[in-house]
Amino acid sequence: SPGKELDAVLTRYNRTGTLSAVYNFLEDCLNVHWIAPGDRGISFVPDKVLNLTAGEKSWTPELVQRHLRIGPSWDGFKRGYMTELPPEFQPTEKDYLSAWNDSQLWLRRMRLGSSKTFSYGHAFVDWWKKYGKTHPDYFALTEKGTREPFFASKPDRIKLCVSNPAVPAQIVTDWLATKNRQGAAANINVCENDSANFCTCPGCMALDARKPGEKFLDHLTDRYVYLANKTLEQARKYAPDAVAIMYGYAYYRHAPRKIKVDPAVIVGFVPFMMVPFEQTAATYQQWRQAGTQQLFLRPNDHHINTGLPMGFEKRMFEAFQLGIKNGIIGTDYDSIHGFWPVTGIADYILAKAHVDPHQSFEHWENEYYSSFGPAADAVRDYYRYWRQEWYDKRFQPLAEKMDKELNGNNVFRSAFIRDIPSLYTDADFDKTDHILTTALQRPLPAAVQSRLKEILLANRHARLEFHAIRDVKAGKLGGARELLRFRREIRNQVGMNWAMLFHIEKTYGDLAGMEMAAITDAFKDVQETPRDWYFRIDPQDQGLKEKWFTQPWNTFKDCPLIPTTVNWEKARPYGKHADLQKTLVNYDGIGWYARQLQIPESWQGREIFLTFGAVDESCQVYVNGVLAGEHKMTLPDDWKTPFSIRIDPLLHHDKPAQKQTVVIRVEDKSGSGGIWKRIWLTAR
């Protein structure tokens, strides 16, 4: 039954060999396929008679770990995604958990799982909290000459001083305290925390093996192999069969040059999919030559996904195959994005490749298309267009060029997402729409017709998303408003992870203009203000008494510029104001923002507003030295609620070409503070 199937999947450390046998039977004998999570993703041909042939089949997974990550738990979703969604896109807890369980079930139906339990990931996220006061020597000596988190707001990303012999000793002490607990993994996790700010002490620097002309970050692998080896030396005093896991990632993805890898070290290798495969193959071999006996593939390949059709399914499959040829023992992909009618084919083929790693791409590709029955050829033509005409001819050459420029350190979305307006054309969507609409004119089973319509809606959504991104880059919001309207119309008709899509767009500065499209629904015209505003802290609350809002504009121009897209705790003032960052990371109190704005002359005689995405917590807005209005935090959600303040009565109407001075006093009593969602000029 569905309930028992889900219980079996969600029960931790449960063995599911019988369940896998049932799935194999359904696929092989009844031609059932699961092309996406949930009931809408189940493909089968109804029949009154089952024609079964007697036979036997067994399956033994080749990989001890087969893992594609999915989204966060409900608590993680609420913290990281919920506030980024317009209200009508925010799921209830029941709906979210239902979709999350469907994804877990889909993974198991694809036979993903593990026969060994490994423990890895950022291993030292709580170390600063535990040892920062008592053992500052455990931590990296930064370029600032201190042993503390480079960013006080992110102590979980602090780096270690790996040459300190007390560090591996402490790792082993902590491991021994947990190793015998039920469910704890047998291996030691020595994966360094993510981000930069590595140790620059003489001991750690002496461990590195950079070639002449290489920069500090070009090669840091030897120091982390040293840490893993030394940790195992300590651990073997208590557990002769101890195993350690480290990452081969980013600045330490290349194999070590002078230190051999202990045979009991397992390396989670994180290659980049867009790098030429001959380079990645060479890196695999170099890790082997350095003594590595066990590697698992821990890629971030999914993080090129934008929600637009991209055709990367074959490249992703080939990157997986490269790992198989180089003897990987498992995988851990971060992570499925849930854009099922757009890029779900890539997740399907990748998942099925884990079942039989030696089948061809075309085998799994054709299996996916078979779920569309009489429309299989049209779906094939649709996905192959994006792969052959877009990915192969436009994107991959650009990705390789960017990888070369960035020295292989960051070819994810951030490297190309701003190029979207030049990477797509309306002709792309004209051709692909034609393929799908022509197929829909055929006599099709209802289920196939429904799936085909879903892909067509997703393709039309992608065209509007492309238009919106193009418009935002040109300083317009017309495309964004049309996109938001369409999203509202189709949100329950397509299997799109809207939370992830809105999150990606927000991460890149409201890329498609969704935040402001939602906020400015009531206005006819919209114009963005500068992202960065001049800023001044007021810890003694002197600004009101001294009337800072009436001071000449030049008094603000010597203040630092900070963005109005993040809380002031995350601001990074630069130049002579860089030291202000240390104050802002824990600052609660008063801050003043100031800018001069040019109002379009065509807006004369209209109601004009400053529209704020959000201010944490309260603010007062002054225009040309006079209070225009205020926003007080009286309700719990007021710190994240958009609002508008009318300003046209205070503008210099006699000199319409003159810039208007806007000064904003923000009061923050606790937690994060400041203007953290962009300010727009709006008119009606």
At 71, the amino acid letter reads G
Residue pair 341/458 in contact by the 8 Å Cβ criterion: yes
Q: List, for residues 141-181, the tens digit of each pLDDT value.
A: 987 789 998 777 689 999 999 999 999 999 999 999 887 65
DSSP secondary structure code for residue 388 in this structure: I
Q: List, for residues 438-452, the tens digit of each pLDDT value.
A: 999 999 999 999 999
CA distance 87 to 206: 54
pLDDT band at 467 (very low <50, low <70, confident <90, very high): very high
* pLDDT score recorded for residue 329: 97
Report whether pLDDT(418) > 70.
yes
pLDDT band at 183 (very low <50, low <70, confident <90, very high): very low
Report whether pLDDT(186) > 90.
no
Specify the 3-state DSSP secondary structure of 527.
strand
Position with higher pLDDT, 608 vs 509 = 608
Residue pair 130/157 in contact by the 8 Å Cβ criterion: no
- Range with the poorest average pLDDT among 278-292, 391-405, 536-550, 587-601: 391-405
| Residue 601: partners with Cβ closer than 8 Å, 6 or more residues away | 656, 657
Chain-centroid distance, C-alpha 80: 11
pLDDT band at 407 (very low <50, low <70, confident <90, very high): low
At 111, the amino acid letter reads R
Q: List, for residues 626-678, the tens digit of each pLDDT value.
A: 999 999 999 887 887 889 999 999 998 777 678 999 999 999 998 889 998 88
What is the pTM (predicted TM-score) of this model?
Answer: 0.85
* pLDDT score recorded for residue 9: 78
Average pLDDT, the chain: 92
| Pairing of β 618-623 and β 660-668 | antiparallel
Report whether pLDDT(486) > 80.
yes
Measured at the CA of 384, the angle between CA 24 and CA 26, to 5 degrees, comes to 10
| Residue 48: partners with Cβ closer than 8 Å, 6 or more residues away | none
* pLDDT score recorded for residue 10: 78
**Residue 579 exposed, middle or buried by CB count within 10 Å (0-12, 13-18, 19+):** exposed
* pLDDT score recorded for residue 159: 95
CA distance 496 to 38: 12
Position with higher pLDDT, 84 vs 386 = 386
Q: List, for residues 365-382, the tens digit of each pLDDT value.
A: 999 999 999 999 999 999
What's the sign of the alpha-carbon dihedral 618, 622, 623, 627? positive
* pLDDT score recorded for residue 182: 47
The token pair that represents 115 in the structure block: 């026969």
Which of these, 441, 475, 436, lies nearest to 454 by C-alpha position? 436
